[in-house]
A and B are shown apart, each in its own frame.
Chain A
Amino acid sequence: MDVVLLSRLQFGITTAFHILFPTLTIGLAFYLVVTEFLWLRTKDEMYYRMYRFWVKVFAVHFAVGVVTGITLEFEFGTNFARFSQFVSNVFAPLLAYEGMTAFFLEAGFLGIMLFGWQRVPPLVHFLSTALVGAGATFSAFWIMSANAWMQTPTGFEIIDGKLLVTSFREAIFNPAFPTHLSHMLMASYETAAFAVAGISAWFLLRGEHTAFYRRSLGIALLMAALFAPLQVFIGDMKGLSTAEHQPAKLAAMEGHWETNTEGGAPLRLFAIPDMEAEKNHFEIAIPNALSLLITHSADGKVQGLKEFPKADRPNALITYWSFRVMVGIGFIFAGVMAWALLLWWRKRLFDCRLFLKALICIQPLGFIAVVMGWITTEVGRQPWVLYGLMRTSEGVSPIPAGNVIWSLSVFLIFFAIIGTSYFYYILKILKNGPDLDSPIPPVQRPSGMRPTEDALKEA
């Protein structure tokens, strides 16, 4: 195997493994900020118990996210040295800024968030939670900016084969960036909301700690209700942006081979794109729907994949299906929220067993959608590492394939061990359940606090 394919595999696998963790960290941090805010506002002890429980999940998750994230920063240099050198003037500061503004903020206040209960006053603790949340969001900001820049590079000029920056503002806020970031943030909030919802539903069905999990589920569903429909809307905007700036990617995502000359382009609900034959097998399509989605007119022109030279086309089979799965999950989420709204209207939200079972089933879908979306956007960018300017094959490091075979194998073994342990410990934390008895540290005990027992009696 050659070093290009191996390096791509390694980067793809390490990114896909890593992305699972910040996704939940960003969303769960938001959830924790809300919970702690409610604890400070209402002085209802239940919120304190909720925070202390979910933060355990957060901590284990965060640890894996950090250690795998550090690896990614190094892999630009170890595996894609030529790319890194070419783009360094624009690209590198974005990573440096992530380190300065995001990594430090998260790591700096995580200590107080986890260990500071006995040592700092309530407001300082709340600020720490908020700053960890802000750090996670800043991290997404810079990383999404860097990645979006690889998709739609702007703000530079090339002189004598050297890439020189002309405007950092243009580079950071490149055309793909706004939808890239908002799409990722929404995905994180949704994933976390449905993860918490699914876990809560599981324990509600079993009748364990009902009062506790009802409230956990309530906040999670509120979060999901806010973000699931918004995500469908942002997804549509992202499609438009892709059509404008990366037409080859869009054509691959839709299995769209021929530019429509007469009439509208159909939306292919099911198809098996064939790169060799340049067509789809087993196509089920809605006439004119693609044109309607992309151009907002029934017969608008959508560029087909055949307009691009064979060597410049992304893999249509992978891109088409990863995109389909992601969109499908997005609609399932939106549908479940519509159902939740109906149940809430009828005041049966926590009692409908079928709904709770559905929440359990869809619990892992957010993670799958994130990875699928990641595959869509990254495979869809191929064969370019820097869209239209540098091919992935030109960007790898001058190292022998043996190096990458070695590191890739170690990564696979390590990820298997860490992934398994991660699941084992998370399940263990969940199984042990919330701690409803430990006394609240004196420094955290506000005046006029409602004890948990009252809340339990009400439920």
Chain B
Amino acid sequence: MDIVQLWNALVGVVIILYVILDGFGLGIGILFPTAKSEEERDVLMNSIAPIWDANQTWIVFGGGALFAAFPMIYTVLFSALYIPLLSFLFGLIFRGVAFEFRINTNRKYLWNWAFFLGSLLAVLNQGFVLGGYISGIKVVDGAFAGGPFDWLNPFTVMVGIALVVGYVLLGSTFLIIKTEGAVQERAYKQAFWAAMAVACFMIVVSIWTPYHAPDLTARWFTEPRLYFVWNFPLLGLVAFGLLLRSLKKRRELMPFISSVLLFLSAYFGLQSALWPLAIPPDLTIYEAAAQRETQIFTLWGVAIVLPVVLTYTIYSYRVFRGKVGGAEGYH
């Protein structure tokens, strides 16, 4: 494994960490309007209040790491996906300030809406970014050479909606862990329906992708990929089974874990089709990579800092473990 491959794996890990960690928080934002009272909304918000900021930081690190290790992906992708990327940020802005503004006001409904719409906007556009990326980007001489709406097509819209459903699954299964009583009861139902919707979307994606991106599909059937790609749909199937079973048996931790596994199966499935592409349809990670010295310098930082970050993140989750209540002491 050379350093370019190592960085490819690292960026991949950071992105999936972001998707899972901020994913459940964003999912809770989308579920926000289903809460029946202001007190229930407090419970939803308190379940992520101490950790959402650290979770969201993975996208900052992801952006920085991408820029440092694969500057061409960063520059080409960001100009090509200008509109969905900035819309994603606009969503994050409103959602982020809602946490602080909401507790300081009597007119909470304004920031309830901001929290919900911000989360929804962020997730939809994350999906558009992913869909636009899979659809392929026009690159000439290492720079983006397409139009502002190249990313927009029915497939992209479908991916956007699929991601909303996926994050709702993560959010509701996380709520099962953190809440009790009526809120938890509702989360079980929401998780079940989200799981069903996710299953439908996975079938749709499996049928649609070969038509929409035949190149990517063809890659699955080349050696040596052919020998292990089938593991991912299998993992997905097992995860889905575990999810339904644990929901039925009213387990608290297992639904979330199996939802994460479901996400991992989809993510690895996609990654295995892309490898070694940096930007579809034909730019590879080697062409997009930064100077070797730069990759090494940044890798030192990752090697030293990342274990520390992970350690105190786990510590923080331990500090805030257990069920949340509506009146959990705020600052």
Smallest distance from the beta carbon of B138 to chain A beta carbons, Å? 11
Is the CB–CB distance between A115 and B50 below 8 Å? yes
Smallest distance from the beta carbon of B269 to chain A beta carbons, Å? 27
Among A104, A116, A119, point to the contact of B309 (Cβ < 8 A).
A104
Among A88, A108, A400, point to the contact of B313 (Cβ < 8 A).
A108
Smallest distance from the beta carbon of B7 to chain A beta carbons, Å? 11
Q: Which residues of B contact A97 (CB under 8 A)?
A: 64, 298, 301
* A109-149 contact mask (Cβ, 8 Å, vs B): 1 or 0: 11111111111100000000000000000000000000000
CA distance A175 to B150 in the complex (A): 43
Is the CB–CB distance between B71 and A68 below 8 Å? no
Considering the complex, which residues of chain B in the window 138-156 have a beta carbon less than 8 Å from any beta carbon of chain A?
Answer: 142-145, 147-148
Does A67 reach chain B (CB closer than 8 Å)?
Answer: yes
Q: Which residue of A lies closest to B142 (CB)?
A: A85
Is the CB–CB distance between A73 and B319 below 8 Å? no
- The interface stretch among B75-83, B162-170, B278-286 is B75-83
Is the CB–CB distance between A107 and B319 below 8 Å? no
Q: Which residue of A lies closest to B77 (CB)?
A: A77
Is the CB–CB distance between A63 and B104 below 8 Å? no
Smallest distance from the beta carbon of A376 to chain B beta carbons, Å? 27
Among B67, B100, B329, point to the contact of A115 (Cβ < 8 A).
B329
Smallest distance from the beta carbon of B81 to chain A beta carbons, Å? 8
Smallest distance from the beta carbon of B50 to chain A beta carbons, Å? 3
Contact flag A403-B297 (CB < 8 Å), given A81-B76, A92-B68, A397-B144: no
- The interface stretch among A52-60, A325-333, A385-393 is A52-60
- The interface stretch among B91-99, B176-184, B239-247 is B91-99
Does B234 reach chain A (CB closer than 8 Å)?
Answer: no
Is the CB–CB distance between A406 and B83 below 8 Å? yes
Smallest distance from the beta carbon of B123 to chain A beta carbons, Å? 16
* A61-78 contact mask (Cβ, 8 Å, vs B): 1 or 0: 011101111110110111
Q: Which residues of B contact A15 (CB under 8 A)?
A: none
CA distance A107 to B59 in the complex (A): 12
CA distance A59 to B103 in the complex (A): 11
Query: Using a Cβ–Cβ cut-off of 8 Å, how many residues does chain B contribute to the interface with A?
Result: 65
Does A152 reach chain B (CB closer than 8 Å)?
Answer: no
Contact flag A107-B96 (CB < 8 Å), given A81-B143, A398-B145, A407-B82: no
Does A89 reach chain B (CB closer than 8 Å)?
Answer: yes
Q: Which residue of B lies closest to A397 (CB)?
A: B79
CA distance A309 to B206 in the complex (A): 61
CA distance A373 to B45 in the complex (A): 39
Is the CB–CB distance between B290 and A92 below 8 Å? yes
Q: Which residues of B contact A56 (CB under 8 A)?
A: 104, 331
CA distance A110 to B56 in the complex (A): 13
CA distance A111 to B331 in the complex (A): 10
Is the CB–CB distance between A78 and B82 below 8 Å? yes
Q: Which residue of B lies closest to A101 (CB)?
A: B305
Is the CB–CB distance between B57 and A99 below 8 Å? yes
Smallest distance from the beta carbon of B311 to chain A beta carbons, Å? 10
Is the CB–CB distance between B53 and A84 below 8 Å? no
CA distance A63 to B297 in the complex (A): 31
Among B53, B68, B97, point to the contact of A96 (Cβ < 8 A).
B68
Does A100 reach chain B (CB closer than 8 Å)?
Answer: yes
- The interface stretch among A187-195, A285-293, A296-304, A421-429 is A421-429
Q: Which residue of A lies closest to B96 (CB)?
A: A67
* B47-67 contact mask (Cβ, 8 Å, vs A): 1 or 0: 001110110110111011101
Query: Using a Cβ–Cβ cut-off of 8 Å, how many residues does chain A contribute to the interface with B?
Result: 71
Is the CB–CB distance between A88 and B148 below 8 Å? no
Is the CB–CB distance between B331 and A115 below 8 Å? yes
Contact flag A107-B297 (CB < 8 Å), given A96-B68, A421-B101: no
Q: Which residues of B contact A400 (CB under 8 A)?
A: 147-148
Q: Which residues of A contact B291 (CB under 8 A)?
A: 89, 164-165
Does B230 reach chain A (CB closer than 8 Å)?
Answer: no
Does B105 reach chain A (CB closer than 8 Å)?
Answer: yes
Smallest distance from the beta carbon of B283 to chain A beta carbons, Å? 13
Does B86 reach chain A (CB closer than 8 Å)?
Answer: yes
Does A414 reach chain B (CB closer than 8 Å)?
Answer: yes
Does B223 reach chain A (CB closer than 8 Å)?
Answer: no
Contact flag A67-B92 (CB < 8 Å), given A81-B76, A111-B50, A425-B101: yes
Smallest distance from the beta carbon of A21 to chain B beta carbons, Å? 11
CA distance A357 to B246 in the complex (A): 65
Smallest distance from the beta carbon of B261 to chain A beta carbons, Å? 26
Smallest distance from the beta carbon of A364 to chain B beta carbons, Å? 21
* B257-282 contact mask (Cβ, 8 Å, vs A): 1 or 0: 00000000000000000000000000
Q: Which residue of B lies closest to A62 (CB)?
A: B100
Q: Which residues of A contact B302 (CB under 8 A)?
A: 100
Is the CB–CB distance between A96 and B82 below 8 Å? no
Does B89 reach chain A (CB closer than 8 Å)?
Answer: yes
CA distance A159 to B74 in the complex (A): 22
Is the CB–CB distance between A108 and B75 below 8 Å? no
CA distance A330 to B284 in the complex (A): 52
CA distance A160 to B242 in the complex (A): 56
Does B207 reach chain A (CB closer than 8 Å)?
Answer: no
* A163-189 contact mask (Cβ, 8 Å, vs B): 1 or 0: 011001000000000000000000000
Q: Which residues of A contact B90 (CB under 8 A)?
A: 410, 414
Q: Which residues of A contact B93 (CB under 8 A)?
A: 67-68, 71, 414, 418
Does B72 reach chain A (CB closer than 8 Å)?
Answer: yes
Which of A59, A69, A99 has the most CB atoms of chain B within a 10 A radius of its CB? Answer: A99
Q: Which residues of A contact B320 (CB under 8 A)?
A: 111, 115, 119
Contact flag A73-B297 (CB < 8 Å), given A107-B53, A428-B104: no
Q: Which residues of A contact B94 (CB under 8 A)?
A: 414
Contact flag A399-B74 (CB < 8 Å), given A100-B302, A108-B316, A407-B82: no
CA distance A348 to B293 in the complex (A): 60
Does B330 reach chain A (CB closer than 8 Å)?
Answer: yes
Does A306 reach chain B (CB closer than 8 Å)?
Answer: no
CA distance A26 to B217 in the complex (A): 50
CA distance A117 to B330 in the complex (A): 9
CA distance A227 to B265 in the complex (A): 55
CA distance A421 to B86 in the complex (A): 22
Q: Which residues of B contact A422 (CB under 8 A)?
A: 97
Q: A99-B63, A111-B54, A164-B291 are in contact. List 20 more A-B contacts (CB 8 A).
A: A66-B96, A68-B93, A76-B78, A77-B75, A77-B79, A81-B76, A88-B290, A88-B294, A100-B64, A101-B301, A109-B316, A111-B49, A397-B78, A397-B82, A398-B144, A398-B145, A399-B79, A403-B148, A410-B86, A425-B104
- 7 A-B residue pairings within 8 Å (CB atoms): A56-B104, A63-B100, A66-B96, A104-B61, A120-B319, A421-B97, A422-B97
Q: State the 9 A-B residue pairs at the shortest beta-carbon distance, nearest first.
A: A77-B78, A88-B71, A111-B50, A96-B64, A67-B96, A92-B68, A81-B75, A99-B64, A92-B67
